[in-house]
Amino acid sequence: MQEVPKLMGMGDAMKYLKVSRQYIDYLVDTGKLRCQRISTGKVFLESDIVAFQRERQRKAAQKPRKRKSR
């Protein structure tokens, strides 16, 4: 028997990624995050959200932000 993929709604994705609704819309519009549009909004595969977060953390570890000197 096949396992049904776990889904996350917009609110769940926002909480998991700790970002705003507008930023998630931007990620979807630019193709960086996949979603399925339904009548009540957008749903995401949990695996896509987790993979996006891991990639985001990997990039952050490789290239730390530079502090502006005052």
Mean pLDDT across 10-22: 97
pLDDT score at 27: 97
Task: Determine the 3-state secondary structure of 37 from DSSP.
Answer: strand
Give yes or no for residue 65 having a pLDDT over 90.
no
Question: Which residue do the tokens 């339904």 mark?
Answer: 38
pLDDT score at 68: 77
39 falls in which pLDDT band (50, 70, 90)? very high
User: In whole angstroms, what is the distance from residue 49 CA to residue 19 CA?
Assistant: 12
CATH of 7-56, one of 3.40.1010.10, 1.10.1660.10, 3.40.50.300, 3.50.50.60: 1.10.1660.10
pLDDT score at 4: 83
Mean pLDDT across 42-55: 96
User: 50 near 8, Cβ under 8 Å?
Assistant: no
